[in-house]
Amino acid sequence: LAKENNVAILEAPALARALHKHTEIGDEIPEALYAAVAEVLAYVFQLRAYGKNGGSRPGLPSKIEVPPELDPLNPAAQTKPDTDNGARP
């Protein structure tokens, strides 16, 4: 559906898993995920500017880093991290 409507797709499975596991809708983003979310938001703003002003299409972020202990599929996630704001058990 996204491709049919020319909507950019950014795949960040570890970030998606971490956000799904540690937040609810309306929660603050855990501090440990600020940098990863900021990288995605920066890409979105660059895409908007590209769509509005033209120029060179921004490249996808090369690597969106998620702390291993926040990714539920990572063995390091077995320990309970202090995720600060909005973390759910």
* pLDDT tens string 23-66: 999 999 999 999 999 999 999 999 999 989 999 999 999 889 99
| Type and span of the H or E element at 70 | none
Residue 67: inside a domain: yes
Residue 47: inside a domain: yes
Residue 85: inside a domain: no
Q: Which domain holds residue 38?
A: 13-78
Residue 2: inside a domain: no
Residue 5: inside a domain: no
Q: Is the pLDDT of residue 79 over 70?
A: no
Q: Is the pLDDT of residue 87 over 60?
A: no
Alpha-carbon torsion, ordered 33, 69, 16, 50, to 10 deg: 40
Structure confidence at residue 6 (pLDDT)? 83
pTM: predicted TM-score of the whole model, two decimal places: 0.78
- Going by C-alpha positions, the residue among 52, 34, 40 that lies closest to residue 9 is 40
More confident residue, 7 or 28: 28
The number of distinct structural domains making up the chain is 1
